[in-house]
């Protein structure tokens, strides 16, 4: 689906006098996101509109010439950095030390700006702990703290400067990490968390997100369930122990929340049904024993220090590993292990993957980390970059990019983006990649866009999106629905355009019977299809129309 | 007369060795740093370790657990602390260290001379630092030097005992005043 697909309307469209207008989504009524539209001058006659913009990550967004069917150089291309984003987190990394939270915008052009929160107690006094586990949610960063001073803290823009406690279990074991997550059941978003209880059991709790409630959660509707003994994990591995929630991976599609001990056993919860999972619920359980460069995969016991997974719900971990992450843009897994960084093709971790992955066959590579230090916590951003942290008295934060996804031997480019005082925690997703996509509705009033001539019927509208990574991507995990109507008139149902808009770097002409004629308003609704999305959160969504 | 003198000399030597081990982290931390610490904005390309060197670089050492017993005032602070040890760089960030966990010793990884670790005990009551200065990651030569109380006060160990190993399970006992 590259370029316009003129379909049956093309002849008719060609006969028309084209007055261009190009509409970039610039409204943002319900999503809460601030929209900016830029009015560019009309392009020169023989030049297609090829503006360049810089998105919020500082990445130049190259936009090629797009010629409308039957027309030439029509309209004005608006480009900005506001369009669609697919997750609550933009390109950001959240770094948590004992008592402080730092959010780093992964925007080199802006100088990697930071926002800080001090963790405080119920009285607003500084409060620190250890062993933090994190997850990026709609509300902000959820921080699960360890032990008797444990519970969930929240760092959000609603509480500038202070990360506050929002829920404290009364039965969290002193040594138990608290792995936190967020997910949706139907249209209801939740926060969820698991830990080991003082009674020696594994426990999972979910609380509905309700932004009208204090701190955004409806504690009155909390649901919880205890499971078996802390020492009972998958496959007979009994090393779950008191640290049953050392690491976690949330697969939004299957609603599986996998948890693991520190190099011990794994267990899991179906967060929708509140039932305990078995090893057979691990999609790639069969890969145990497979060699992938310096790793031996293990999906039930002797797992890595922390867990991760890919877009297909495969649990990405290995015996002896520290942390892993799946970069969906390059489709590689990056793992760390006390002084080494390993890059492997994602297929190496899939059930139907090769029997073994080796460096000789360029399926994986063990990289010498000496140039950067011992990178340990890693988390993919979703735009081809991965954040890695060298822990220490000062935590060093890096962004890493695979130099050539088809030739892993070319290694990783690692760039230092911050020195954060204090020793960082976070062994799960600290970039927001595995969160479901929040619903967004954007309203575009054509009359507010330059080039639109009131009263003239709209001939057609074309829509498409551009990947911020400069690569053509296929959209996964998102549903895109559109509806066109005349302001003040009757608004019809949303029309699902996901299939037409699957691929980036293309425009698709919407059915003029639906989005044509006497209309002046377009609404775009973007929502999760229930699974983790791979959509580059900084991609631009573009609309063009002609009268 | 000779024997007591020899004993005295040996005693002085032993004391000197022990004292030097206590303060060694100040000096040994500065030796043979082989990692480059990047500045913000700087980048580097990490390239694969040649396949022929992989076996040397990454020995297949089975994970091991570290069991530490922490004593304070003659009383055991926590009966068992086998959760984890986080190694981290010295506060003197001029010297980068490898970061390791005590329950996953991989001997070839620690070649920079020193490492310190932050022990999160089961009850979060105390934290402690372990310093390994011999460069071999031989646990028997690890020294627990400092203990940090929840109030942030550091205590120096007055009686440093070596951590011994037995059947791949490591035990340590450290006395604090």
Q: What is the pLDDT of residue B162?
A: 39
Which residues of B fall within a CB distance of 8 Å from A418?
Answer: 40
**CB pair distance less than 8 Å for B101 and A130:** no
Enter the DSSP assignment of A470.
S
Give CA–CA dist A526/A441, Å, rounded: 6
Q: Which position has the higher pLDDT, A541 or A128?
A: A128
Q: What is the pLDDT of residue A242?
A: 54
Helix (H) or strand (E) segment spanning residue A526: strand A521-528
Which residues of A fall within a CB distance of 8 Å from B109?
Answer: 338-340
Which residues of A fall within a CB distance of 8 Å from B152?
Answer: none
Angle at A116 between CA A468 and CA A415, to 5 degrees: 45
Q: Which position has the higher pLDDT, A105 or A240?
A: A105
**CB pair distance less than 8 Å for A243 and B44:** no
**CB pair distance less than 8 Å for B124 and A129:** yes
What residues contact residue B17 under an 8 Å CB cut-off, 6+ apart? none
Which residues of A fall within a CB distance of 8 Å from B85?
Answer: none
Give CA–CA dist B115/A365, Å, rounded: 26
Model confidence at A241, in pLDDT bands (50, 70, 90)?
Answer: low
Q: What is the pLDDT of residue A230?
A: 80
Query: Which of A121, A367, A393 would best serve as a mutation to test chain B binding (most B beta carbons within 10 A)?
Result: A393
Is the pLDDT at A320 greater than 80? The verdict is no
Both structure tokens of B87: 């190694």
User: Taking Cα atoms as reference points, which of A278, A250, A246 lies closest to residue A261?
Assistant: A246
User: In 3-state terms, what secondary structure has residue A361?
Assistant: coil
Q: From the list B44, B83, B89, which residue is nearest A371 (CB)?
A: B44
Check if B118 contacts A (Cβ < 8 Å). Answer: yes
Mean pLDDT over A53-71 rounds to 28
Q: What phi and psi values does residue A267 have, to the nearest 5 degrees?
A: -145, 180
Min CA distance, A96 vs chain B (Å)?
15
Model confidence at A239, in pLDDT bands (50, 70, 90)?
Answer: low
Q: What is the pLDDT of residue B53?
A: 55
Q: What phi and psi values does residue A485 have, to the nearest 5 degrees?
A: -160, 170
pLDDT tens-place string over residues A46-60: 333 222 222 222 222
pLDDT tens-place string over residues A208-234: 999 999 999 999 999 999 998 887 888
Give CA–CA dist A229/A246, Å, rounded: 16
Q: Which position has the higher pLDDT, B6 or A417?
A: A417
Helix (H) or strand (E) segment spanning residue A168: none
Check if A170 contacts B (Cβ < 8 Å). Answer: no
Query: Which of B25, B29, B38, B64 would best serve as a mutation to test chain A binding (most A beta carbons within 10 A)?
Result: B38
Both structure tokens of A368: 């010498």
Is the pLDDT at B127 greater than 90? The verdict is no
Model confidence at B139, in pLDDT bands (50, 70, 90)?
Answer: very low
| Residue-wise burial string across A426-462, b where 16 or more C-beta atoms lie within 10 A, e elsewhere | bbbbbbbbbbbbbbbbbbbebeebbbbeeeeebbbbb
Q: Give the burial class of B6: count Cβ atoms within 10 A of its Cβ; 0-12 exposed, 13-18 middle, 19 or more buried.
A: exposed
Residue of A nearest to B115 (CA): A392
Which A-chain residues 404-433 have CB contacts (< 8 A) with chain B? 408-419, 423
Mean pLDDT is lowest, of A30-34, A412-416, B168-172, for: A30-34
Q: Which position has the higher pLDDT, A77 or A256?
A: A256
Which residues of B fall within a CB distance of 8 Å from A112?
Answer: 40
Q: What is the pLDDT of residue A49?
A: 29
Q: Is the CB of residue A547 less than 8 Å from the CB of residue A453? A: yes
- The residue length of chain A stands at 547
Q: What is the pLDDT of residue A61?
A: 28
Residue of B nearest to A239 (CA): B83
Is the pLDDT at A536 greater than 80? The verdict is no
Check if A247 contacts B (Cβ < 8 Å). Answer: no
Check if B167 contacts A (Cβ < 8 Å). Answer: no
Check if A196 contacts B (Cβ < 8 Å). Answer: no
Please give, one letter per residue, the 3-state secondary structure of B110-162. CCCCCEEEEEECCCCCCEEEEEECCCCCCHHHCEEEEEECCCCCEEECCECCC
**CB pair distance less than 8 Å for A393 and B91:** yes
Check if A58 contacts B (Cβ < 8 Å). Answer: no
Both structure tokens of B163: 């951590």
Q: What is the pLDDT of residue A468?
A: 60
Please give, one letter per residue, the 3-state secondary structure of A249-279. EEECCCCEEEEECCCCCEEEEECCCCEECCH
Which residues of B fall within a CB distance of 8 Å from A360?
Answer: 51
Q: What is the pLDDT of residue A157?
A: 94
**CB pair distance less than 8 Å for B88 and A147:** no
User: In 3-state terms, what secondary structure has residue A219?
Assistant: helix
Q: What is the pLDDT of residue A450?
A: 64
Which residues of A fall within a CB distance of 8 Å from B47?
Answer: 367-368, 409-411
Model confidence at A248, in pLDDT bands (50, 70, 90)?
Answer: very high
DSSP per residue, chain B: -HHHHHHHHHHHHHHHHHHHHHHHHHHHTTS----PPPPTT-EEEE-BPPHHHHHHHS--PPP-EEEEEEEETTEEEEEEE-S-EEEE--SSTTS-----BGGG--GGG--SS-EEEEEE-TTSS-EEEEEE-SSS--GGG-EEEEEE-TTS-EEE-SB----EEETTEEEEEEEE-
Angle at A385 between CA A315 and CA A32, to 5 degrees: 90
User: Which of A201-215, A418-432, B68-82 is most confident?
Assistant: A201-215
Give CA–CA dist A441/A443, Å, rounded: 7
Q: What is the pLDDT of residue A298?
A: 85
Which A-chain residues 293-312 have CB contacts (< 8 A) with chain B? 293-294, 302, 305
Which residues of B fall within a CB distance of 8 Å from A149?
Answer: 124
- Please state, in angstroms and as integers, the Cα–Cα distance from residue A442 to each residue in A32, A33, A56, A437, following that order: 10, 9, 18, 15
Mean pLDDT over A188-193 rounds to 96
For tokens 């340990």, what's the residue? Answer: A376
Check if A368 contacts B (Cβ < 8 Å). Answer: yes
pLDDT tens-place string over residues B13-33: 444 444 333 333 333 232 223
Min CA distance, B67 vs chain A (Å)?
14
Q: In what order do the strands lie in the sheet with B127-132?
A: B85-88, B115-120, B127-132, B143-148, B154-156
Q: What is the pLDDT of residue A321?
A: 80
Query: Which of A131, A242, A262 would best serve as a mutation to test chain B binding (most B beta carbons within 10 A)?
Result: A262
Mean pLDDT over A337-366 rounds to 92
Q: What is chain A's mean pLDDT, rounded?
A: 77
**CB pair distance less than 8 Å for B120 and A131:** yes
Q: Which position has the higher pLDDT, B95 or A386?
A: A386
**CB pair distance less than 8 Å for B46 and A320:** no
Helix (H) or strand (E) segment spanning residue A374: none
- What is the ipTM metric for this complex? 0.73
DSSP per residue, A30-77: SS--------PPPPPTTS----EEE-TTS-EEE------TT-SS-S--
Give CA–CA dist B164/A266, Å, rounded: 30
Enter the DSSP assignment of A475.
-
Give CA–CA dist A5/A59, Å, rounded: 28
Q: Which position has the higher pLDDT, A146 or A227?
A: A227
Half-sphere exposure at residue A328, Cβ-oriented, CA atoms within 13 angstroms? 25
Q: What is the pLDDT of residue A101?
A: 97
**CB pair distance less than 8 Å for A339 and B103:** no
Give CA–CA dist A256/A282, Å, rounded: 9
Q: What is the pLDDT of residue A369?
A: 77
Model confidence at A311, in pLDDT bands (50, 70, 90)?
Answer: confident
Is the pLDDT at A99 greater than 50? The verdict is yes
Which residues of A fall within a CB distance of 8 Å from B96?
Answer: 373, 390, 392
DSSP per residue, A399-436: EEEES-TT-GGG-EEEEEEEEEEB-----S-SSSTTSP
pTM, two decimals, is: 0.67
Check if A262 contacts B (Cβ < 8 Å). Answer: yes
Angle at A53 between CA A47 and CA A54, to 5 degrees: 160
Which residues of A fall within a CB distance of 8 Å from B54?
Answer: 293-294, 359, 366
Pairs from A164-170 (Cβ < 8 Å, separation ≥ 24): A164/A120, A164/A215, A165/A120, A165/A121, A165/A122, A165/A127, A166/A215, A166/A216, A166/A217, A167/A207, A167/A217, A167/A219, A169/A195, A169/A203, A169/A205
Give CA–CA dist A395/A28, Å, rounded: 37
Interface contacts (A, B; CB < 8 Å)? 159
Q: Which position has the higher pLDDT, B68 or B122?
A: B68
Q: What is the pLDDT of residue A152?
A: 96
Q: What is the pLDDT of residue A119?
A: 95
Which B-chain residues 22-81 have CB contacts (< 8 A) with chain A? 34-49, 51, 54, 57-58, 63
**CB pair distance less than 8 Å for B89 and A392:** yes
**CB pair distance less than 8 Å for A396 and B58:** no
Both structure tokens of A412: 């990783």
Give CA–CA dist A542/A521, Å, rounded: 15
Give the number of other CB atoms < 10 A from CB of residue A19.
Answer: 16
Q: From the list A175, A409, A418, which residue is nearest B122 (CB)?
A: A175
Q: From the list B49, B103, B123, which residue is nearest A367 (CB)?
A: B49
């Amino acid at each position: 689906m590259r370029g316009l697909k003129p379909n049956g309307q093309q002849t008719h469209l060609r006969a028309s006098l084209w007055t261009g207008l190009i509409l970039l989504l610039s409204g943002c009524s319900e999503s809460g996101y601030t929209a900016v539209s830029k009015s560019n001058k009309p392009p020169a006659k023989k030049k297609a509109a090829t503006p360049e913009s810089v998105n919020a990550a500082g990445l130049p967004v190259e936009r090629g010439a797009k010629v409308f069917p039957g027309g030439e150089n029509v309209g004005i291309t608006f480009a900005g950095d506001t369009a669609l984003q697919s997750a609550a987190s933009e390109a950001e990394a959240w770094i948590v030390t004992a008592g402080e939270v730092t959010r780093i915008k992964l925007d080199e052009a802006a100088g990697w700006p930071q926002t800080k929160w001090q963790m405080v107690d119920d009285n607003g006094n500084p409060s620190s702990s250890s062993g933090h586990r994190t997850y990026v949610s709609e509300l902000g960063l959820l921080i699960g703290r360890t032990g008797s001073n444990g519970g969930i803290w929240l760092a959000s823009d609603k509480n500038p400067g202070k990360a506050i406690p929002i829920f404290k279990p009364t039965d969290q074991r002193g040594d138990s990490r608290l792995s936190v997550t967020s997910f949706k059941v139907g249209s209801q978003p939740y926060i969820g968390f698991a830990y080991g209880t003082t009674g020696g059991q594994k426990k999972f709790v979910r609380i509905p997100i309700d932004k009208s409630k204090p701190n955004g959660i409806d504690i009155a509707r909390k649901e919880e369930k205890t499971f078996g003994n802390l020492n009972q994990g998958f496959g007979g591995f009994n090393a779950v122990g008191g640290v049953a929630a050392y690491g976690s991976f949330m697969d939004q599609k299957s609603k599986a929340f996998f948890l693991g001990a520190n190099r011990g056993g794994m267990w899991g919860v179906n967060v929708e049904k509140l039932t305990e999972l078995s090893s057979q619920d691990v999609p790639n359980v069969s890969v145990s024993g497979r060699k992938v460069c310096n790793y031996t995969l293990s999906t039930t016991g002797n797992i890595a220090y922390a867990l991760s997974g890919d877009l297909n719900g495969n649990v990405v971990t290995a015996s002896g590993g520290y942390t892993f992450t799946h970069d969906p843009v390059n489709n590689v897994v990056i793992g760390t292990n006390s002084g080494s960084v390993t890059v492997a093709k994602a297929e190496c971790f899939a059930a139907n993957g090769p029997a073994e992955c080796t460096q000789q066959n360029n399926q994986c590579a063990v990289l010498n980390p000496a140039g950067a230090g011992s990178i340990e916590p890693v988390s993919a951003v979703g735009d081809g970059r991965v954040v890695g942290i060298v822990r220490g008295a000062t935590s060093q934060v890096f962004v890493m990019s695979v130099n050539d996804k088809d030739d892993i031997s070319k290694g990783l480019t690692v760039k230092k983006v911050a020195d954060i005082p204090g020793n960082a925690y976070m062994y799960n997703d600290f970039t927001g990649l595995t969160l479901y996509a929040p619903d967004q509705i954007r309203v575009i009033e054509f009359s507010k866009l330059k080039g639109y001539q009131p009263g003239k019927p709209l001939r057609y509208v074309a829509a498409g999106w551009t990947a911020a990574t400069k690569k053509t991507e296929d959209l996964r995990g998102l549903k895109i629905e559109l509806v066109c109507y005349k302001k003040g008139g009757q608004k019809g149902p949303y029309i699902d355009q996901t299939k037409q808009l699957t691929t980036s770097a293309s425009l698709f002409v919407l059915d003029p019977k639906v989005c044509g004629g006497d209309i002046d308003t377009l609404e775009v609704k973007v929502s999760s299809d229930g699974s983790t999305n791979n959509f580059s959160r900084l991609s631009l969504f573009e609309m063009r129309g002609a009268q | 007369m000779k024997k007591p003198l020899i004993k005295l000399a040996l005693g002085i030597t032993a004391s000197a060795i022990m004292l030097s081990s206590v303060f060694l982290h100040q000096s040994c931390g500065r030796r043979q740093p082989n990692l480059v610490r990047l500045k913000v904005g700087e980048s580097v390309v990490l390239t694969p370790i040649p396949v022929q060197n992989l076996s040397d670089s990454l020995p297949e050492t089975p994970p091991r657990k570290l069991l530490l017993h922490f004593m304070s005032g003659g009383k055991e602070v926590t009966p068992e602390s086998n959760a984890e040890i986080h190694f981290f760089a010295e506060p003197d960030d001029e010297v980068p260290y490898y970061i390791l966990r005590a329950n996953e010793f991989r001997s070839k990884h620690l070649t920079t001379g020193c490492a310190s670790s932050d022990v999160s005990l089961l009850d979060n009551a105390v934290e402690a630092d372990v310093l390994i200065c011999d460069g071999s990651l031989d646990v028997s030569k690890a020294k627990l030097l400092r203990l940090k109380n929840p109030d942030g006060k550091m205590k120096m160990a007055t009686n440093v005992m070596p951590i011994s190993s037995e059947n791949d399970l490591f035990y340590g006992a450290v006395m604090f005043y």
